[in-house]
Amino acid sequence: MKNILLPTDFSANSMNAIDYAMHFFENWECNFYILNVQKISEYISDDLVTGSPTDTIYESIATDNKKLITTLVKKLSKQYKSQAYTFHGLFDYDDFVSSIDQAVTFHAIDLIIMGSNGATGAKEMIFGSNTLQVIRNIDCPTLIIPEQYSYSSIKSALFSTEHCEDFSFRGIKVFKEMLDMHQCELNVLELDATTISSRREETTCLRALFPEHPYTYFCLNTIPGLIAVNTATQLLKVDIHAAFIEKETFLERLLFGSESSQLAHGTLIPLLFLHR
C-alpha cells in the first residue's frame, strides 16, 4: 500500500485517525492525501462577508480551509521527517462521497482511513453518516478508527465472516498486506445466526483465502454479530478487525438498522471494511 486517503474536518476525531495512520505505517513508504470537503450549506453569510471584494463565493469559502490544510501538511511533514512519508493537501467543494470517490480514482488510493464518532439514532440509520456513506458507496478498503482510540502495536488481528463463498480474493489483498506488515497473529471468526448446529471445521474457502497465514478458527452460532465480534476482540485481545461490507436495503436500514452501521458505530477497535 502506498496511497492513503485521510479525510478530515479538523475535529479531534479526524485528527486522531490521522495520528493512528502515522503510527500504523511507521517505517513504510507512503503518500498521504489529506482531504477536506466543504459544502455551501455549512456556511452562513458572515463567511462570505469576510472574503475580499474580488473573491468569488467559492474562493471566500475555500480560503480558510485551504490554509488549515496547508498548515496541517507542513506540521506533519516536520513531525514525521524521519519517515518515508509524503503529504499532499486536498480541498474540494462538493458532496462528501463524490469528493472521496474522485480522490480515490484520481490518486489511485489504496486505503481510506477515517474516524467514527459512535453516533447512533434514526438519522444515522436512514441517511448514514459520512463514514457509513463512504464504506457503503466507495469501492475502496476503509479503516475506521473509533473515537479516542489510541494506537497500540498490531499483535493480533481478527477476520470475521458470514457467507464465505462470496469472498473476493482481490478485495482482501489490503488486509493480507497488513498482516505481513505487522507480522501479527490471525484469528478467524465465522458467524452463523441461522443455525444452532456447531461447525467444528472451517470451510475450504477460508483455507484458500489465507494459505500463507496460519490462523486460529472460531465459529459462533445464534449470537448477534456485534456482540459476538466485540466479545471476541476482548477475549482474544485483538488490535484490528477486518470484515466484508454487506449491502443492506433501505427498508432493512430503516426498520432494523444495519450490520454495517452497528459495526462502524459499535466497534471497540479499528475496523477495516473490505468490498466483495
Look up residue 233 and give its three cell numbers.
476482540
pLDDT(196) > 50: no
pLDDT digits (tens, 9 = 90+) for 202-229: 667 778 888 888 999 888 776 666 677 7
Q: Are residues 117 and 171 in the same domain?
A: no
Q: Are residues 215 and 92 in the same domain?
A: no
Indicate the residue among 146, 164, 179 that finishes a domain: 146
The lowest-confidence range among 33-47, 98-112, 118-132, 176-190 is: 118-132
Residue 138 identity = I
Residue 151 lies inside a defined structural domain of this protein: no
To the nearest 10 degrees (0 to 180), the angle between helices 96-106 and 130-137 is 50
Residue 33 lies inside a defined structural domain of this protein: yes
58 pLDDT band, cuts 50/70/90, is low
200 pLDDT band, cuts 50/70/90, is very low
Q: Give me the pLDDT at residue 163, please.
A: 64
pTM over 0.75: yes
Count of domains observed in the chain: 2
Q: Are residues 190 and 159 in contact, defined by beta-carbon separation less than 8 angstroms?
A: no
198 pLDDT band, cuts 50/70/90, is very low
Q: Are residues 98 and 185 in the same domain?
A: no
Q: Are residues 146 and 118 in contact, defined by beta-carbon separation less than 8 angstroms?
A: yes
Structural domain of 74? 3-146
Indicate the residue among 114, 146, 178 that finishes a domain: 146
Q: Are residues 114 and 211 in the same domain?
A: no
Q: Are residues 111 and 244 in the same domain?
A: no
- Mean pLDDT over residues 43-69, rounded? 64
Percentage, residues of the chain above pLDDT 90: 42
CATH of the domain at 268: 3.40.50.620
Strands 142-146 and 271-274: antiparallel
CA trace torsion 89, 93, 94, 97 (10° rounding)? 20
Q: Are residues 113 and 169 in the same domain?
A: no
Q: Are residues 188 and 120 in the same domain?
A: no
Residue 10 lies inside a defined structural domain of this protein: yes
